[in-house]
């Protein structure tokens, strides 16, 4: 491909695509020693210089394996997509925090991390530079997203100096309270147990000091839509958020969800569908904020 040799149907197709400027993605796979050959490496650099996108390979022991299928699919969609988020640096904070009670027990929330992952996937496929900070999760993580892990709210607060993104979205289920961790394990034979819960630092106000555009999330249960919006706007004003995404957990079902996206000085927009569809709808609204 790098030398313009088209002696097979595959290389002929590659020659035609390169000659016409058609987008092309190359996912190499071979023995490790072959991939380390200096001439092959030089040819890879030539292809990159010609504008071809190289995906992988994954170096495992002595093999250069093809990238995971989900990464290849995401790169194809990204290459052929709208590119309306190209050049925008996005941080998504998701999952649940875990506040230790003792060495065995902890305080956490029910979040699975799926909303954060769907938002990150959608942003990546639309051309953004995406970073994910993920707490506890029970949803499969994509192999192609840049990921950093946290456990406690304190961990997140220590990461604040890394925030310099254009857009920060925080669908994470973070604990509001924690306790002083007990060394070892509290005996289950001790009888009734009382925990002295103390408020934890608020992450959104800390992010507000560094994020250019900050989007919060507000989950409620069993409230009417007007009351849901009222509570969400109150949170928006208290933290000076640029937007907030609110939902009633009663409307979250397996395979589908419903949210209301609120921007400043605009009526709320309610969208429903799969979490992937809703993620794209949320990003559509974020484009209004970033213009």
Residues 158 and 53 in one domain: no
Range of the domain at 20: 9-67
Q: Verify that 154 and 217 share a domain, yes or no.
A: yes
Q: Is residue 187 part of a domain?
A: yes
Task: Kindly state whether residues 38 and 180 are assigned to the same domain.
Answer: no
For residue 255 the two structure tokens come to 């395979």
With a CB cutoff of 8 Å and minimum separation 6, the contacts of 163 are: 91, 207, 210, 211
Question: How many domains are there within the chain?
Answer: 2
Same-domain pairing of 193 and 240: yes
pLDDT in tens, the chain (291 residues): 999 999 999 999 999 999 998 999 999 999 999 999 999 999 999 999 999 999 999 999 889 999 999 999 999 999 999 999 999 999 999 999 999 988 888 889 888 899 999 999 999 999 999 999 999 998 888 888 989 999 999 999 999 999 999 999 999 999 999 988 778 888 887 778 888 899 999 999 999 999 999 999 999 988 888 999 999 999 999 999 999 999 998 888 777 899 999 998 888 899 999 999 999 999 999 999 987
Q: What is the CATH number of the domain that holds 145?
A: 3.40.50.10300
Residue 84 domain-assigned (yes or no) = no
Secondary structure, 3-state, 204-222? HHHHHCCCCEEEEEEEECC
Is residue 191 domain-resident? yes
Residue 98 inside a domain? The answer is yes
Of 33, 67, 101, which residue constitutes the final position of a domain?
Answer: 67
DSSP 33-81: HHHT-HHHHHHHHHHHHTTPEE---EEETTEEEPPPHHHHHHHHHHHHS
Q: Is residue 230 part of a domain?
A: yes
Provide the pLDDT for residue 281: 96
Instruction: Report the pLDDT value the prediction gives residue 182, as an integer from 0 to 100.
Output: 78
Cα–Cα distance, 165 to 286 (Å, whole number)? 14
Same domain, 57 and 181: no
Q: Does one domain contain both 63 and 165?
A: no
- Asked, for residue 40, whether it belongs to a domain, the answer is yes
**Tokens read off for 22:** 């058609």
Pair 285, 179 in one domain: yes
* Shared-domain flag, residues 53 and 93: no
Check whether residue 51 and residue 190 sit in a common domain. no
Same domain, 131 and 265: yes
Q: For residues 216 and 241, what is the distance between their CA atoms, to the nearest angstrom?
A: 7
Rounded to whole angstroms, how far apart are CA atoms 187 and 123?
46
Q: Which of 67, 100, 116 is the last residue of a domain?
A: 67
Residue 73 lies in a domain: no
17 inside domain? yes
- The verdict on 16 and 138 lying in the same domain is no
- Are residues 262 and 164 located together in one domain of the fold? yes
- Residues, the chain: 291
């Amino acid at each position: 491909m790098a030398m313009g040799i088209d002696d097979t149907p595959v290389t002929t197709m590659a020659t035609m695509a390169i000659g016409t400027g058609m987008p092309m993605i190359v996912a190499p796979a071979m023995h490790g020693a072959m991939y380390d050959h200096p001439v092959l490496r030089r040819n890879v650099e030539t292809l990159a210089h010609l504008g071809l996108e190289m995906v992988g390979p994954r170096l495992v022991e002595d093999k250069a394996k093809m990238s995971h299928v989900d990464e290849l699919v995401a790169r194809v969609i990204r290459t052929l997509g709208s590119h309306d988020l190209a050049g925008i640096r996005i941080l998504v904070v998701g999952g649940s925090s875990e506040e230790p009670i003792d060495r065995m027990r902890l305080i956490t929330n029910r979040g699975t991390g799926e909303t954060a992952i769907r938002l990150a996937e959608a942003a990546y496929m639309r051309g953004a530079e995406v970073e994910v900070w993920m707490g506890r999760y029970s949803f499969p993580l994509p192999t192609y997203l840049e990921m950093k892990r946290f456990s406690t709210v304190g961990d997140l607060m220590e990461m604040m100096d890394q925030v310099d993104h254009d857009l920060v979205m925080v669908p994470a289920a973070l604990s509001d309270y924690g306790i002083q961790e007990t060394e070892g394990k509290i005996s289950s034979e001790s009888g009734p147990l009382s925990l002295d819960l103390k408020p934890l630092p608020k992450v959104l106000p800390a992010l507000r000091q560094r994020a250019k555009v900050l989007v919060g999330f507000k989950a409620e249960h069993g409230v009417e839509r007007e009351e849901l919006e009222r509570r969400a706007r109150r949170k928006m004003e208290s933290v000076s958020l640029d937007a907030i995404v609110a939902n009633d957990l009663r409307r979250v079902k397996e395979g589908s969800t419903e949210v209301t996206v609120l921007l400043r000085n605009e009526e709320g927009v309610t969208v429903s569908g799969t979490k992937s569809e809703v993620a794209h709808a949320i990003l559509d609204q974020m484009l209004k904020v970033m213009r």
